[in-house]
Structure 1
Amino acid sequence: MVMKRIRPYLMIAPAITIFCLFFIYPIGYMIYLSAHDWNFVSIEKTFVGLSNFKTLFSEPEFIEVMQNTFTYTTLTVSFTIAISLVLALWLNRQGVLYGFVQGAIFSPHIISLVSVSMLWMWLMDTDYGLLNWVLNLFGISSVPWLTDPSTSLLSLVIVAVWKGIGFNTLIFIAGLQSIPRDIYEAAELDEANRTRTFFKLTLPMLSPTLFFLTIISLIGSFQVFETISIMTSGGPINSTNTFVYYIYEYGFRFFKIGFASAAGVLLLIIVSLLTIVYFRMLSSRVHYR
């Protein structure tokens, strides 16, 4: 009898153990370190309370990092979702051409971010890049994609959108194909035009897919690291420095582990709050069939 009661807990025990070991414990230890001053080398940790958080908010560099992160996230999520939805509406049909285009669009998703970053560094090179070469053919002067503070963050957004639209497009296509055809047939009988059909039928029926893609894109954009580390290293003049790279710099370059942990705790709080607000505001508008 006792064995029958504890059997379910024994079956989930390995998963719970792994979850606690690799998720709960690191978060708890990060919160613990955020209240200490530690240089990652010595054994001793000095308790400083909320001093790291106070220093964090008094740093002009950190305020700029927050602005960069929110700007990057807003632009990346907006453009990725919008372009992916348009492509999905166009590619949601049978044919060899459409199948080929779907594969071509999806291919950047399976390429590692390191390879993508190296490729776009060459494309965006000010002197020898392919993009500036094409612009020069049309009489347009070269653009300092990665070396000018006014264009560097936008350049990283372009890379993120290029890599992300393939996955989002295929998910949107799957969502479109799951919509029953009889709904569109009823709309045709009512003589509804394409615009009205899209906003009154297609978009509401796609709301679960849109809800899912927006939330994972939002979280992923806040965690951007590889492209910044390889392409710009947070520069020029801190114009592309974002949350995760800022945490990496202070933790593993300046060895201010407590300060970096405080920034990590703040990132956790911001992402959690945005996720909760997003669910509270929009989950009621999602139409599940």
Structure 2
Amino acid sequence: MALPNLLLIAVFTYVPLFNNLYYSTLNWTLGSASATVVGLENYVTFFTSADAGRVLGTTAVFTAATVGGSMVLGLLVALALNSKVRGTTFARSAVFAPYVLSGVGVGLVWLFIFDPGYGVLAWILRGLGQQSPQWINDPELSLVMVIIVYVWKNLGYCAVVFLAGLQSLPQDVMEAASLDGASSFRRFVSMSLPLLSPTTFFLLITTMLSSLQAFDLIRIMTPLGSGTSTLIYEAYLQAFGAYNRAGYSAAISVVLFVILLVITVLQLRFVEKKVHYS
């Protein structure tokens, strides 16, 4: 019964994976009918280039900011949505809605908001007598802009998962702590957070893997990758941009794959030890 699914996984996941490993050893221009085997030269070229530090640094900053921002804000939103007040059902839907929207559509809308010339934010700042920052033209601000939009789009996912975790907490234990005089803050820090560790661990893995593979928002909001060239976007630019360096792009993809694999193994090996399942 499992054989059809295993075949699909093999054909569409593992065959491309091993093909990409092979392509990373080639000096191959995209579209060319011939290629030269160069071994590990593409990897050496990447790690010795001036762009390696910039790309890896951008990837690290983007991942840390988006994962941390999404999880912290998602937890705060989940705490608010866990309150028994009117309108929480609508609020939950509204918070989760951006997560299911197309990244292309979200990027286009937020481009209109951030545009320093005719954007909504620029219009508001001009009304206050201020000049709009050059979000699109400044590489540092471009990264901040994409991080803001990515966190806004994905915090609903974290909020819904955290909300499910909060609603599964043992209420008798929480009520006993309340009767013993523990404040709301004390109950949250000493009881809710430790009991939420399986949820936090799950979100840490999924959001980190998602952030490392973020592409659509970066592609739409910063087509040239100015200040926002993460590993996956740098691989795209090298293969399908002005360079057409398919082998070099494949090597960057392999580097990203190794990073994803190492992070997942480390999380499963060390972080899970601090997770409380009971």
- 1:195 Cα deviation (Å)? 2.0
Residues in 1 aligned to 2:119 and 2:261: alpha-carbon distance in whole angstroms: 39
Q: Determine if contact 1:146/1:152 at 8 Å carries over to the other structure.
A: yes
Q: Determine if contact 1:34/1:52 at 8 Å carries over to the other structure.
A: yes
1:247 maps to which of 235, 245, 248: 235
2:95 is equivalent to residue 79 of structure 1: no
2:182 is equivalent to residue 227 of structure 1: no
RMSD of equivalent CA atoms = 1.3
Residue of structure 2 in register with 1:3 after alignment:
none
Q: Give me the TM-score of the superposition, normalised by structure 1.
A: 0.92
In structure 1, the gaps of 5 or more residues are: 1-10
Residues in 2 aligned to 1:29 and 1:150: alpha-carbon distance in whole angstroms: 35
2:254 is equivalent to residue 272 of structure 1: no
Amino acid at match of 1:38: W
- 1:161 Cα deviation (Å)? 0.6
Q: How does 1:108-123 map to 2 (within 5 A)?
A: 108-123=98-113
Residue of structure 2 in register with 1:37 after alignment:
27
1:155 maps to which of 145, 151, 154: 145
Residues in 1 aligned to 2:201 and 2:121: alpha-carbon distance in whole angstroms: 34
Residue of structure 2 in register with 1:69 after alignment:
59
Residue of structure 1 in register with 2:162 after alignment:
172
Residues in 1 aligned to 2:76 and 2:175: alpha-carbon distance in whole angstroms: 22
Amino acid at match of 2:185: T
Amino acid at match of 1:94: K
Residues in 2 aligned to 1:250 and 1:141: alpha-carbon distance in whole angstroms: 35
Q: Give me the TM-score of the superposition, normalised by structure 2.
A: 0.96
Q: In terms of mean alpha carbon deviation, does 160-169 or 54-63 score higher? A: 54-63
SS of 1:16's partner is helix
Count of residue pairs brought into register by the alignment: 277
- 1:131 Cα deviation (Å)? 1.4
2:86 is equivalent to residue 96 of structure 1: yes
2:257 is equivalent to residue 257 of structure 1: no
- 1:89 Cα deviation (Å)? 0.6
Residues in 2 aligned to 1:184 and 1:42: alpha-carbon distance in whole angstroms: 66
**Superposed CA offset, 1:142-187 (max 9, x none):** 1111211221101000000110011111111111001111011110
Residues in 1 aligned to 2:111 and 2:189: alpha-carbon distance in whole angstroms: 39
SS of 2:2's partner is helix
Percent of pairs identical after alignment? 36
2:132 is equivalent to residue 142 of structure 1: yes
SS of 1:214's partner is helix
1:204 maps to which of 187, 194, 211: 194
- 1:52 Cα deviation (Å)? 0.6
Amino acid at match of 2:237: E
- 1:60 Cα deviation (Å)? 1.0
**Superposed CA offset, 1:95-149 (max 9, x none):** 3322222121111112100000000000001011111222333333211112112
Q: After the TM superposition, which parts of structure 1 deviate over 4 Å for at least 4 consecutive aligned residues?
A: none
SS of 1:93's partner is coil
Q: How does 1:15-26 map to 2 (within 5 A)?
A: 15-26=5-16
Q: In terms of mean alpha carbon deviation, does 167-176 or 32-41 score higher? A: 32-41
